[in-house]
Chains A and B, each alone.
Chain A
Amino acid sequence: MRVNFTVNGRPQEADDVWEGESLLYVLRERLGLPGSKNACEQGECGSCTVRLDGVPVCSCLVAAGQVEGREVVTVEGLADYAKQRSCGHQAPEGHDSHTGEGTELSPVQQAFIDAGAVQCGFCTPGLLVAADEMLERNPNPSDADIREALSGNLCRCTGYEKIMDAVRLAAARQGEAV
């Protein structure tokens, strides 16, 4: 079957999609967006977290056919998504909003680098999408808020303390910027 939907602000058409296929598979294997990671395929690990109409979901548990006509943001589009949110307008031209090539990092991405919150990196895309969404909803999160928001994302390097640091840092910088 064919599925039409919007990914990172750009209309996409996926063809020959198998009816039982997940959104994750379509993103990675049909649209060339490997940022969302495939690990558990049962919603346990959060590595495949994307925004579906703004809501964080495990893309491995969304059937491809269910996204018809809907909007998806992946980690590749996170920087532009964050930029549009802070500027309230379209991101500047000159880079590829679809794959994220040449884009400046979003505040939460930069904070993960600065805090050393990336080890093997496999869980990072899912954590970034989940953390960014929490900071959008809750600009001044408590540690408990952060832990709960990230409770669906597993890091098997067990780098959780640095991840906590990164999200606190992103929240603090977000507060300074306002």
Chain B
Amino acid sequence: MDFLRPASWEEALAAKAEHPTAVPIAGGTDVMVEINFDHRRPEYLLDLNRVGDLTEWEVGEDTVRLGASVPYTRIMEDLRGELPGLALASHTVASPQIRNRGGVGGNLGTASPAGDAHPALLAAGAEVEVESVRGSRLIPIDAFYTGVKRNALAADELIRAVHIKKADGPQQFSKVGTRNAMVIAVCAFGLALHPETRTVRTGIGSAAPTPVRAKTAEEFLNAALEEGGFWDNGKIITPSVAKQFADLCAAACNPIDDVRGTASYRRHAVGIMARRTLTWTWESYRGTAATTEGAA
């Protein structure tokens, strides 16, 4: 094994081009487990800790450009306003020690369907900025996950940052596990209201080969909210609409039975989480709307 220590992003890209089999390591919270357990013996480890700008973020007009190695601790403490869904998801990652090291770039690189960041990224809307010596490109989050622990990266590419849409409405994240800390998701659900476009977006974790959106459920809900004038009248969402939305979210799953839970449990739990997160966010949206009217 060889340990490559690029001092800059350019050096990192050059190293990855020269050694396409090199495994990038930043927080190490996935990669080191595989090495410690002898599940993986990469020819090269490509340490990204010395590339300082990977731990920085910029808040722009419409998006946050989040460096691939920004630790979850920073996201949950410093980006709660701009990225509430991702901040909630970050807070459910493992433990303080792990959140101090791990970041979204690692979640995307590993591309496990159980990665906690994925449902939040899918719901908020995001693009992954990847780069190689050949150039840079933005991959829409919907096209990023290509299979179980597979992503759209080419062999010579590295993840530099994620461009995440700033919240324009309430967002929620929900995760099922056996306890509150140190737990890999049995399944997870992210939901974001986007009042500016009058749309709702979702993200499902750990209930399909890849993280997925419940697109049929989104289309149904978008139409139902529009027809009922809900965005304007701020009424409580009709229970039958919430139920139909939950059923469609459950139907969007393609889960397996494994040690953490059965497929039917996952489907059931995703439906419950869909209804709850919809209720929480919608109540928050109505509350905000009411406050605005009251204050005006």
Q: Which residue of B lies closest to A68 (CB)?
A: B5
- Cα distance, A153 to B181, chains bound together (Å): 10
Chain B CB within 10 A, most for which of A18, A44, A66, A68: A66
**How many residue pairs at the A-B interface have CB separations less than 8 Å?**
88
Q: Do residues B32 and A56 form an inter-chain contact, with CB atoms below 8 A?
A: no
Is A90 engaged at the interface, CB distance under 8 Å to the other chain? no
Is B17 engaged at the interface, CB distance under 8 Å to the other chain? no
Q: Do residues A46 and B47 form an inter-chain contact, with CB atoms below 8 A?
A: no
Is A43 engaged at the interface, CB distance under 8 Å to the other chain? yes
Picked from A60, A66, A68, A149, the residue with its CB within 8 Å of the CB of B96 is A149
Which B residues from 198 to 221 make CB contacts under 8 A with A?
A: none
Write out the residue numbers on chain B whose beta carbons fall within 8 Å of the beta carbon of A154. 182
Picked from A61, A148, A149, A151, the residue with its CB within 8 Å of the CB of B28 is A61
Is A102 engaged at the interface, CB distance under 8 Å to the other chain? no
Q: Do residues A61 and B33 form an inter-chain contact, with CB atoms below 8 A?
A: yes
- Cα distance, A174 to B291, chains bound together (Å): 43
Is B180 engaged at the interface, CB distance under 8 Å to the other chain? yes
Is B29 engaged at the interface, CB distance under 8 Å to the other chain? yes
Chain B residues touching A, range: 20 to 34
Picked from B27, B49, B96, B181, the residue with its CB within 8 Å of the CB of A130 is B96
Interface string of A61-72 (1 = CB under 8 A from B): 111011010000
Given contacts A41-B33, A49-B97, contact A151 B182 (CB under 8 A): yes
Picked from A22, A43, A66, the residue with its CB within 8 Å of the CB of B97 is A43
Is B2 engaged at the interface, CB distance under 8 Å to the other chain? yes
Which of B35-43, B122-130, B146-154, B156-164 lies at the interface with chain A? Answer: B35-43
Chain A CB within 10 A, most for which of B28, B33, B94, B97: B97
Q: Which 5 A-B residue pairings sit nearest by Cβ, starting from the closest?
A: A152-B95, A151-B181, A19-B1, A19-B3, A41-B36
